[in-house]
């Protein structure tokens, strides 16, 4: 095995690499004779006939590779070199797409680095195939997939309350701003602290690297959706065992998340209190949770189950597991609203999704805060052990310009991946920066049903089971449904020959997909790559995490079978698959036999990498959020959490941010 964690530069991208990448796309999406049942149907015939080359996907993917992060670029360069040397470009291979798939499979079997590259190229190619839209706003393959058309359009876009004022500075040689407090990141944590600091009378500037996309402006296209995710949704750990989903836009994760609003368990609060977060186990934090709950309008009345969740509830009930209706920050008046394509972004005129854009950031601006999008912060600046501000670049009306914000108080709230990277680049925070990364590994299993599920239709998640949260040495997982974007599903599902993949995608509307969201026992870490950007190290090397992953796959498979699925499969590297009539126990055994290196987890929750705590050797900031080694720098986001809460973290992140904001305001008022 050639996989290592060394981050060395190797940018050998060139003509051969481009050729290999295009050939990989052609192998994944070859031009095919239409299936027998497609003959005579022009849409279906074109679905099979027009592959990556006819649709320009091969060229688009090759052109996009240089925009990927260094880890992925290096992996793809290495794969391309390996494939070219193995005859991938030879005429015989070109004439046999299935032989090329076999070569890709063999490359991924032998090396996790190459597997990561294969998975990335597949995600890009298949994602483009099913997600790209033409000038009419549609994709010609959607009818073949039973998908679309995207349904809801606001009648009068731009109406209140989605009118957050976000500024774009005029071009200048360097943009220089001043404030009492500068907040880096406008998501769950940053939004709260910006509001509370501004309401306390401090001048506040909020900077977010992502774009400002109001609800009403969103088109609900999967392709557009990528623009509001960190790394355009294509971020993986170095060995590819963990995929990362995180929001990157004004509003951060709150703009695109599933709105599950759960409070942290008491035992976690007690653990964190014992590690130096005073009051977290008692009424003080209860009040902070209540404030968040109330500002976001969290309720269960507006939570409605779609077919995907209903199938999950059936599976749970058949196995004797309980479920609960999820509280969510979905604030439909009249509680009967049920929007289609919710996972593709709320476009409802009333802004049903209570993201920070329509709550805390709105409050912040109402109290005088200024919000800027497209502002990438490279460093926190420090003099004599105290914060002096931040530097980076900002999108102006006339392109990118250098940015400097002078401010004695800096709130680092760039999320669990980017906050530690910012501190590492700045050389502050001490030895714990980037360590202790918790991810809530999510294990995903899909069932194929006889009837239409259309998992993209309706509310993303509306039910949960807590019955399996302590099944492996005290650890376990939540059971929640999952509304997978069709691009994610097509990209991450097991590698298959071109025809098999095309045939399978036609059943997409009958897929129900659920996940076990695990409370991680082990941890990963964030380091800097050779370009000074965040790179993620995570392997499934913790035995408890591995056994929880196996158990999650097995339990979800059992639930699917109990709910009536006719076929069940996973996102593991090997295409483990059960079909009606086959030996189900043998399938469960096969799931248990899958070695750790062949597992794939996804994370939508990145936490703990700048943890709060009393001990500066293992924590970055004190129990109230201020850095141990640099006064005036505060950790304000999910990276502050000492461990994973074991429930979807947004409410916890926001309540801890409420607590940090109180301490920050009190400290500033005291003068230091």
Q: Which of 663, 670, 671 is nearest to 196 (CA)?
A: 663
Is 78 or 459 the residue whose CB approaches ligand FAD more closely?
A: 459
Is 79 or 184 the residue whose CB approaches ligand FAD more closely?
A: 184
Residue 49 CB, shortest distance to ligand FAD, in Å, is 34
Residue 231 CB, shortest distance to ligand FAD, in Å, is 11
Return the half-sphere exposure (C-beta side, CA atoms, 13 A cut-off) of residue 185.
33
Does the footprint of ligand FAD cover residue 257 (CB under 6 A)? yes
Q: Which of 154, 169, 252, 632 binds ligand FAD (CB under 6 A)?
A: 252
Q: How far is CA 526 from CA 67, 419, 432, 533, 608, in A?
A: 20, 9, 10, 10, 10
Give the count of residues interacting with ligand FAD (CB under 6 A). 42
Q: Which of 200, 405, 422, 591 binds ligand FAD (CB under 6 A)?
A: 422
Q: Which of 597, 591, 540, 599 is nearest to 1 (CA)?
A: 597
Q: Which of 246, 268, 523, 620 binds ligand FAD (CB under 6 A)?
A: 246
Beta strands in 73-209 (DSSP E): 175-178, 181-184, 204-207
Q: Which of 288, 488, 648, 660 binds ligand FAD (CB under 6 A)?
A: 648
Return the half-sphere exposure (C-beta side, CA atoms, 13 A cut-off) of residue 573.
27
Does the footprint of ligand FAD cover residue 258 (CB under 6 A)? yes
Q: Which two tokens stand for residue 545?
A: 């995490």
Does the footprint of ligand FAD cover residue 247 (CB under 6 A)? yes
Does the footprint of ligand FAD cover residue 234 (CB under 6 A)? no
Residue 370 CB, shortest distance to ligand FAD, in Å, is 14
Q: Which stretch binds ligand FAD (CB under 6 A): 185-193, 289-297, 361-369, 613-621?
A: 185-193
Q: Which of 151, 130, 146, 139 is nearest to 347 (CA)?
A: 151
Does the footprint of ligand FAD cover residue 559 (CB under 6 A)? no
Q: Which two tokens stand for residue 213?
A: 């996309």
Does the footprint of ligand FAD cover residue 347 (CB under 6 A)? no
Q: Which residue is nearest to ligand FAD (CB)?
A: 187
Is 72 or 377 the residue whose CB approaches ligand FAD more closely?
A: 377
DSSP letters for 464-519 = EE-TTTT-BTTB-EEEEE----HHHHHHHSPP--HHHHHHHHTTGGGEEEEEEEE-
CB 153 within 8 A of CB 339: no
Does the footprint of ligand FAD cover residue 253 (CB under 6 A)? yes
Is 75 or 246 the residue whose CB approaches ligand FAD more closely?
A: 246
Q: Which of 377, 518, 535, 576 binds ligand FAD (CB under 6 A)?
A: 377
Residue 290 CB, shortest distance to ligand FAD, in Å, is 16
Strand, coil or helix: what is 580? coil
Q: Which of 231, 224, 223, 263 is nearest to 247 (CA)?
A: 231
Q: Which of 190, 231, 345, 441 binds ligand FAD (CB under 6 A)?
A: 190
Q: Which of 634, 630, 577, 575 is nearest to 610 (CA)?
A: 634
Is 20 or 650 the residue whose CB approaches ligand FAD more closely?
A: 650
Residue 405 CB, shortest distance to ligand FAD, in Å, is 11
CB 458 within 8 A of CB 342: yes
Does the footprint of ligand FAD cover residue 249 (CB under 6 A)? yes
Does the footprint of ligand FAD cover residue 210 (CB under 6 A)? yes
CB 438 within 8 A of CB 647: no
Residue position matching structure tokens 């005429």: 91
Output DSSP code: residue 14: S
Q: Provide the phi-psi class of 646: left if phi over 0, else alpha when psi is between -120 and 50, else beta.
A: left
- Give the residues across from 621 on adjacent strands: 612, 627
Q: Which of 77, 207, 444, 512 binds ligand FAD (CB under 6 A)?
A: 207
Residue 453 CB, shortest distance to ligand FAD, in Å, is 19
DSSP letters for 352-420 = -B--GGGTHHHHHHHTT-EEESSEEEEEEEEETTEEEEEEEEEEETTEEEEEEEE-SEEEE-SHHHHHH
Q: Which stretch binds ligand FAD (CB under 6 A): 61-69, 193-201, 271-279, 642-650?
A: 642-650
Beta strands in 219-297 (DSSP E): 235-236, 242-244
Q: Which of 125, 209, 296, 455 binds ligand FAD (CB under 6 A)?
A: 209
Q: What are phi and psi of 390, to 5 degrees?
A: -140, 160
Is 150 or 657 the residue whose CB approaches ligand FAD more closely?
A: 657
Q: Which of 418, 497, 545, 658 binds ligand FAD (CB under 6 A)?
A: 418
Which 27-46 residues touch ligand FAD, going by CB under 6 A? Answer: none
Is 216 or 375 the residue whose CB approaches ligand FAD more closely?
A: 375
Does the footprint of ligand FAD cover residue 254 (CB under 6 A)? yes
Cis peptide upstream of residue 133 (ω within 30 degrees of 0): no
Is 58 or 418 the residue whose CB approaches ligand FAD more closely?
A: 418
Which residues lie near ligand FAD (CB under 6 A)? 184-190, 207-210, 245-249, 252-254, 256-260, 375-377, 413-416, 418, 422, 604-605, 637-638, 648-651, 653
């Amino acid at each position: 095995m050639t996989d290592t964690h060394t981050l060395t530069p190797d940018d050998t991208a060139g003509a051969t690499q481009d050729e290999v990448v295009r050939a990989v796309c052609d192998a994944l999406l070859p031009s095919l004779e239409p299936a027998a049942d497609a003959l005579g149907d022009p849409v279906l015939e074109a679905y099979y006939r027009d592959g990556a080359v006819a649709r320009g996907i091969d060229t688009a993917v090759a052109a996009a590779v240089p925009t990927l992060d260094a880890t992925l670029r290096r992996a793809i360069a290495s794969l391309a070199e390996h494939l070219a040397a193995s005859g991938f470009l030879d005429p015989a291979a070109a004439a046999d797409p299935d032989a090329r798939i076999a070569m890709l499979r063999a490359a991924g079997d032998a090396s996790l680095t190459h597997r990561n590259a294969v998975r990335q190229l597949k995600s890009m190619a298949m994602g483009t195939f099913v997600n790209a839209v033409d000038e009419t706003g549609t994709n010609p393959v959607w009818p073949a997939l039973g998908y679309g058309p995207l349904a809801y359009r606001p009648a009068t876009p731009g109406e209140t309350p989605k009118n957050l004022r976000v500024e774009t500075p005029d071009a200048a040689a360097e943009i220089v701003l001043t404030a009492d407090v500068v907040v880096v990141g406008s998501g769950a944590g940053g939004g709260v602290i910006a509001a509370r600091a501004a309401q306390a009378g401090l001048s506040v500037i909020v900077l977010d690297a992502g774009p400002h996309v109001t609800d009403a402006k969103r088109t609900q296209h999967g392709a557009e959706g990528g623009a509001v995710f960190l790394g355009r949704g294509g971020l993986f750990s170095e060995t590819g065992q963990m995929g990362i989903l995180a929001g990157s836009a004004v509003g951060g994760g709150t703009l695109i998340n599933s709105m599950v609003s759960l409070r942290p368990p008491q035992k976690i609060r007690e653990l964190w209190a014992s590690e130096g977060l005073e009051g977290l186990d008692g009424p003080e934090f209860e009040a902070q949770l209540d404030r968040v709950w109330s500002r976001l309008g969290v309720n269960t009345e507006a939570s409605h189950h779609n077919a995907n969740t209903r199938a999950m509830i059936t599976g749970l009930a058949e196995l004797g597991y309980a479920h609960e209706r999820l509280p969510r920050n979905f604030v439909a008046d009249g509680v009967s609203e049920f929007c289609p394509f919710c996972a593709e972004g709320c476009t409802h005129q009333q802004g049903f999704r209570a993201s920070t854009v329509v709550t805390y950031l709105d409050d912040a601006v109402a109290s005088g805060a200024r919000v800027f999008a497209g502002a990438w912060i490279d460093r926190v600046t420090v003099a004599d052990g105290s914060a002096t501000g931040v530097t980076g670049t900002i999108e102006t009306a006339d392109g990118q310009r250098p940015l400097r914000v002078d401010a004695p108080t800096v709130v680092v709230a760039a999320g669990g991946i980017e906050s530690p990277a910012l501190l590492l680049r700045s050389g502050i925070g001490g030895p714990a920066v980037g360590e202790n990364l918790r991810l809530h590994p999510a294990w995903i299993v899909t069932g194929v049903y006889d009837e239409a599920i259309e998992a993209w239709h309706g509310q993303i998640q509306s039910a949960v089971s807590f019955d399996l949260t302590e099944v492996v040495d005290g650890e376990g997982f939540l059971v929640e449904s999952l509304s997978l974007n069709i691009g994610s599903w097509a990209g991450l599902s097991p590698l298959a020959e071109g025809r098999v993949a095309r045939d399978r995608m036609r059943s997409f509307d009958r897929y129900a997909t659920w996940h076990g969201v695990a409370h991680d026992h082990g941890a990963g870490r964030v380091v800097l790559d050779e370009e000074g950007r965040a790179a993620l190290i995570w392997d499934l090397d913790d035995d408890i995490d591995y056994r929880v992953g196996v158990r999650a796959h097995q339990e979800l498979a059992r639930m699917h079978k109990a709910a009536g699925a006719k076929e069940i499969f996973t996102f593991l590297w090997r295409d483990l698959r059960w079909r009606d009539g086959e030996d189900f126990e043998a399938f469960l055994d096969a799931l248990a036999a899958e070695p750790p290196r062949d597992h794939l987890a996804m994370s939508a929750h990145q936490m703990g990498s700048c943890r709060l705590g009393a001990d500066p050797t293992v924590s970055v900031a004190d129990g109230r959020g201020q850095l141990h080694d640099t006064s005036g720098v505060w950790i304000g986001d999910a990276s502050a959490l000492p461990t994973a809460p074991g429930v979807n973290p947004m409410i916890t992140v926001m309540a801890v941010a409420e607590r940090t904001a109180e301490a920050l305001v009190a400290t500033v008022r005291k003068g230091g």
